[in-house]
Structure 1
């Protein structure tokens, strides 16, 4: 792989500092290679391009478009977009797509998420490696010679169409999850990310009172990181929910494909509990359906799926893997403990807004507060994800496996160890040099004991400098 691409091409996307690592030359080369990989070069088709609110996103998106057009592909530019809006456009228009975003990464980063037509994912094993290999020679070509083709009728037909897709996105979501019943007061923290673009369009169609936090688009993230996995970023939302008497609080990440939920008391509702709730709603509508959950979801999730008559399928972490498994099994829904939620009727893609609509629909149709509504879906004590930087991840995993050799072990994704009253998973991050630990127990004391035992193994003589 070209040296300029080696550090920014990840398992599921492209991500790095911008304009340092991801500049217009890299974006242009990747755009041309993407067009060839998806078969839209030479005048054979078009691609959707969207972008988030980061400072470098306009020029990176423009360079992607230039790369696509340089090899004869056409561009449908949807402008500012959340990632799920881009997926929706790819699905509705049946076109491949590129989203310019670094999701929840710091302000100085940017990236690319790519998909084939109908929002089918492109990851390292499903086209991204080939795109990177094809882009390498284009980066080494002299200025003016970096396009995949230099002439031809295909290039003559390469055009850009500007399209405001937000109304179609809103209509699509609300057709999938109508919200009716009692009027809700809903606090939304967009973190100055792309939910600030999509939330107003969705909420103006709902009978809700919106209490907005940080809906202004600002890629410098002046209030807090747009990363709801970090509990410190939820403090403002929790306070607002309590002070304003809100029924629910919603927090989106930077590109708004993930959503976290806070109940009326200001307590965080785990994504596993949201997975169980949305699974139950789907199984009520489609009895016997298959629902996916990843290896770090609560044990309550497969229990509830089975209790509601569904078929639970356990998967590794990662959107391209989950989407492929959804296609294979015909699953109606899939959830990840990281706050990604996937929907068959939404082109198998993930959408934080669709998950939020399911929560609001369930709440509006009930007289109970959210904390009571979610009680049946929250059965165990969980540690949350604990990250450790280690020198040799494989050595640590093997040391843990030896220590717990008399327990139930599996290696579907990292190492999962199970007992009757607890389980834990340790896995290497796909995007950072970290080991991620998740522990769950029947009660807080059991979880804490196991958590501390495993952390001692993770960090004993293995900590990276």
Structure 2
């Protein structure tokens, strides 16, 4: 799992804005990971402190986790190996133990990839603006010149956090009083195959009133059944069919590292992440108000449905709009003291979970909402999806700025409000529609998200914008 000359490996090809991700043996190797472990300790001044290390079920994760541990302990950190973990298990451990850490995962990427999601103590995120670039640059030096030994080598131990994680989540959402539910869970051969039986089943804790129908719970980082990326509709087909075939009340799909969750109703139809955001926001606002918080704050990114801020404000909360991307959401969560945050990509963030994202806790809120009333999920979901969305549509273009300029020329009128929080958002003053155009940071793509009061208005708007964009 090494290149011919690791000292010449360019780490900028795997270090991204928020994490590290690369092709195993090509852009990410055991040697580069070892150097990153040493740099992680030095940049964050962790000598003599605890560093938590875990990994997902990808074949390369155990070797990479050990390499990172060797680099970190060589620079004087005391390493605690967490073994097989989901990404939100790392955030839990980092929050509870107040220690920095890393999980080896490439999330929803194909089997030939692996990577690192790093966090400071207390589950505070790391990004290129808050230390990741410095870690990359120092790791590059260590890769070329070797890792110097600290005056005292750190220790290496082990700890299993799955039971503590499961108990913690069960305390945040009490599901014991739910009506009986049949739940199909598609783990996609990812880490939800381990966390679902622990949290929702009887593997570690007393049983809940749920019958769980497992799909692809075998941990297998080669993803033999389908990619562990529920954002792609094709990867939901097995779950949708199974929900209908089993007469289930709900379906849940997790991505490879189980930090994102997608929801399917009893008819086999997806419940949008915006609807899940609104549903969870309602529950978190009510809980915070019951504890004496006058106007709980909820964060949402600018691509979520307009129904989200409307419901937040209707329920006496304060809606704060932010850019797309987990580092923006987490930073705003901390700044605003927000109780909850949601994204259109199915990342859900909780103040009670160290401002970090967890797909499992979001799923538990949906199960609680469904289980405390008698109606089906399709009926409950309609309350949270009053508008019609286009979903995200990508256009590959030779000249992205020119395409945006054409749209600006057509839609900059006195009847439209334009803002530039993230890309360009156009909103009709009469409230009938809005749309956002955002250029990809890494590819020649322009991303369109549109929403309107009905399907005809949305389709006409979408087609008109795409005609302009793709001229």
Q: Shorter-chain TM-score: which interval?
A: over 0.9
Quick one: distance in 1 between partners of 2:235 and 2:462? Answer: 24
Quote the residue 1:440 is aligned against: 451
> Hey, what does 1:193 align to over in structure 2?
190
Note the C-alpha offset of 1:305. Answer: 0.4
Q: Does 1:159 align with 2:133?
A: no
Superposition deviation, residue 60 in structure 1: 1.2
Distance verdict in 2 for CA 1:24–1:432, change over 3 Å: farther
Tell me, in whole angstroms, the C-alpha distance in 2 between the residues paired with 1:137 and 1:232: 43
Is this contact kept in 1: 2:100–2:121, CA < 8 A? Answer: yes
Alignment RMSD (CA, Å): 1.3
Distance verdict in 2 for CA 1:233–1:185, change over 3 Å: same
Which residues in structure 2 correspond to 1:37-436 (within 5 Å)? 37-41=43-47, 44-141=48-145, 146-147=146-147, 149-153=148-152, 155=153, 158-179=154-175, 180-203=177-200, 204=202, 205-287=207-289, 288-406=295-413, 407-419=416-428, 420-430=431-441, 432-436=443-447
Q: Distance in 1 between matches of 2:116 and 2:462?
A: 35
CA distance, structure 2, for counterparts of residue 326 and residue 250 of structure 1: 26
Structure 2 contact 312–319 (Cα < 8 Å) conserved: yes
Q: Is the 8 A contact 2:9 2:27 kept in 1?
A: no
What is aligned with 2:4? Answer: none
CA drift at 1:397: 2.7
Instruction: Tell me the secondary structure at the aligned position of residue 126 of structure 1.
Output: coil
Instruction: Provide, for residues 370-395 of structure 1, a one-character-per-residue CA deviation record: whole Å limited to 9, x for no partner.
Output: 11112111110011111222234334
Unaligned runs of 5+ in 1: 461-465
Structure 1 residue 430, shift from structure 2 partner: 4.4
Q: Which runs of 5+ in 2 are unaligned?
A: 1-7, 290-294
Separation in structure 2 between the aligned mates of residue 428 and residue 448 of structure 1, nearest angstrom: 21
User: What secondary structure sits across from 1:89 in the alignment?
Assistant: helix
Structure 1 contact 185–210 (Cα < 8 Å) conserved: yes
Contact 2:194/2:217 (CA < 8 Å) preserved in 1?
yes
Q: 1:445 to 1:253 in 2, by over 3 A?
A: same
CA contact (8 A) 1:10 1:430 kept: no
Query: TM-score under structure 2 normalisation?
Result: 0.93
TM-score (norm 1): 0.94
4+ runs deviating over 6 angstroms: none
Pick from 4, 13, 29: which aligns with 2:19? Answer: 13
Note if contact 1:11-1:431 (Cα within 8 Å) is conserved in structure 2. Answer: no
Q: Deviations over 1:150-199 (max 9, x none)?
A: 2412x1xx111111110011011111111122111000000011111111
